Chains A and B, each alone.
Chain A
Amino acid sequence: MIRAGEPLLEVSGLCVDYGSGDDAVHAVIGADLALRRGEVFGLAGESGSGKSTLAYAIARLLRMPGAITGGEVVFRHEGGAVNLVNAGPAQLRELRWNQLAVVLQSAMHALNPVLTIEFQLTDVLKAHRPDLDRAARRACAGELLKMVGIAPDRLASFPHELSGGMRQRVMIAMALALQPQLLIMDEPTTALDVVTQREILNELMDLRTEFGFAVLFITHDLSLLIEIADTIAVMYAGRIVESAPAGDLYLAPRHPYSYGLLHSFPGLRGPVRRMTGIAGSPPDLRKPPTGCVFHPRCGYASERCVREEPSLATPAAEPAGTAHRVVACWLHEPGAATPAELAGLAPALESTS
């Protein structure tokens, strides 16, 4: 596993609104995250939690009425550091695809149905690699397909002639065409069957080992993320509520929402026990709850949670010397009585598997 520790992407205080004025919906609020080179960073959350909005904001792909209203996104590439929030169109064109590529959720819709795979793969090269001639581009496109395990003779195919898994592989090949440093993947395997999903993830991890790119992997499937990610941030109602190394999050979640989410996936082993999920439903972002956004669904909510919003901080009882973890919850304030299941080194998941 690549553990090149240098920072690649640092997001701090990023805020995204949809609309403006009093009607604005705050889709992402004060998001902080840091990706190191070669790391797989998982962003987990339910629909409407702002995870896709955050990814689009990082790649500066938000469309009106979405707008970044604060914070910065510092991207460190070989040529120096750039704050993507202030980057102009020319600068963004230079960075996108060369340094930072995006794989969207629905490959069915991301590929143009009336153009061949060859046209769509070589289009990238035409735009970014003017030094290549037609034959070289074609050869390169063939290589890219081979890299994701598709026979190069499929270059002449149209998207509808490929299966869903192959289309998603083409999207990944396209994103990796210029060997970017960062790959942003928004629910890349959600529409696929489990077996295809597993094949694609295995390939992705192999490619990552080979090329050393970092991945920002967005999904609602926390159990999948725990398997593939190095670090996981859990989002709820536009906020990152907990961020921790994947293994720590799995074995000892600190935020009641992370805990609830982990207990929402029935396991494949051990005795079958009744699990409860999380009561209530995600909030309406037009009218977010006061204080901690999770308090209406939280079993531990106190009066303070209704009034004041907690910010991300290292939990008071975090054992010294353990890897970096932050959580936004009053239960982890110094001196707070943390419930045992949220404080434990105890393998919290034992009861669910």
Chain B
Amino acid sequence: MTESALLEARGLTKHFPVRSGVVHAVDDVDLEVRAAGITAVVGESGSGKSTLARLLARLIEPTSGELLLDGQAGKAAPARARRKYARAVQLVLQDPFSSLNPVHDVRYHLARPLKVHKLAGGSLDEAIDGLLARVSLTPSANFSAKYPHELSGGQRQRVAIARALAVAPRLLLADEPVSMLDVSIRLGVLNLLADLREKDGLAIVYVTHDIASARYLADVVAVMYAGRIIESGPAATITSQPAHPYTELLLSAAPDPGRSNRVPVRGRTPPPNPVTPPPGCRFHPRCPHAMAVCASDVPAMTQISPGHHSACWLHASTAGKEA
């Protein structure tokens, strides 16, 4: 199974020390990204999804666990290894208003990675034109001399994506790439990501809070809650037959104009404090099905159907006995 994995996270954990203890931002996350696959990581704010994206980009070092690129663990060493990793895995950030440098034009933003990675080869201008064309900013002559403030939000995000594509990565990490954009242009950017996968075989990790857009774009959806992945599986299965009570909650709360009746939302317990997460299953204080075992032991990922896993005692083979 691991043969075809482009990037694999094993037991990835990130704790941030704070005065009152440690923030359990990401705990024991296993994730597998296949070549030319789109994996969506869905979660609420504070679920650790952005920290996970940063870990996958190696912007921050994990507290424990490992990241395997093409089955090989990268050495925590120096610039050369980092640069090699960056050639394969690139990150696009949420806010194109702050991720582009306001004092430089588009050409500078795209030339930079080409120069740093010594990829310009023949003609720099040709390479830049090619990149702009790939993100549908054509004719490129209209855009390369523009400054970020002269572009709309959607165009800026396209420039940010083009910059990430400059090194010809095999995996693009997109952290909430459309949440800052106007509603009418979000789909354009999502479709661009879909096209990049379709045409160029780019693998994508799409981090989002919007489960409907995850269903639209991704093949595989992983749902995070309080730092852990609690369910993962094919996008269609997750949204039509969720196995974890939290996924059910998330789906029932999502806006759905086709819904005829009002949705009951159970409990008013807020998501847990990441410094002192509840023991056992982190969702148990909010869970309508919580059992004794949920408060004491962390449920392991259990297979529901091929490719569909959920970490819930309801699905564990021992659930019958414990309940």
Contacts and interface: CB of A to CB of B under 8 A. Distances in A.
Interface of A: 46-47, 149, 163, 165-166, 193-199, 202, 205, 220-224, 226-227, 250, 260-261, 264-269, 272, 274-279, 281-282, 297, 349, 353
A275 B253 contact: no
A275 B249 contact: no
B186 interface: yes
A268 B240 CA distance: 8
Contact of B236 (A196, A260, A265, A272): A272
B270 A202 contact: no
A195 B183 contact: no
Interface string B206-224: 0001011101100000000
B183 A266 contact: no
B215 A46 contact: no
Contacts, number: 117
A279 B268 CA distance: 40
Given A195-B250, A227-B259, A268-B251, A46 B183 contact: yes
Centre residue among B182, B250, B263 by max chain A CB count within 10 A: B182
Contacts of A267: 212, 256, 258
Nearest to A224: B255
A334 B183 CA distance: 31
Contact of B191 (A47, A198, A274, A349): A274
A268 B212 contact: yes
Given A46-B182, A220-B183, A265 B263 contact: no
Contact of B184 (A163, A266, A282, A349): A282
Contact of A223 (B152, B194, B256): B256
Interface string B146-157: 000000111100
A353 B44 contact: no
B304 interface: no
B239 A193 contact: no
Given A194-B253, A195-B265, A163 B186 contact: no
B254 A193 contact: no
A268 B211 contact: yes
B315 to A, nearest CB: 22
B27 to A, nearest CB: 19
Contacts of B235: 272
B148 to A, nearest CB: 14
For chain B, what secondary structure do more than half of its interface residues adopt (helix, strand, loop), or is it mixed?
A: helix
B65 to A, nearest CB: 26
A350 B155 CA distance: 30
Contact of A165 (B184, B185, B236, B270): B270
A197 B253 contact: yes
15 contacts: A47-B182, A165-B270, A193-B44, A194-B250, A194-B253, A198-B265, A199-B265, A220-B182, A223-B256, A227-B259, A267-B258, A268-B215, A275-B187, A277-B185, A353-B258
Contacts of A202: 262-265
Most buried by A among B182, B255, B256, B258: B255
B45 interface: yes
A29 to B, nearest CB: 20
B257 interface: yes
Contacts of B264: 202
A197 B250 CA distance: 11
A351 B194 CA distance: 19
A215 to B, nearest CB: 16
A264 B187 contact: yes
Q: Which of A199, A226, A266, A297 neighbours the largest number of chain B CB atoms within 10 Å of its CB?
A: A266
B188 interface: yes
Contacts of A265: 183, 212, 255, 257
Contact of A266 (B44, B185, B215): B215
Contacts of B155: 281
Given A194-B209, A220-B183, A268-B215, A227 B253 contact: no
Contacts of B184: 46, 260-261, 264, 277-278, 281-282, 297
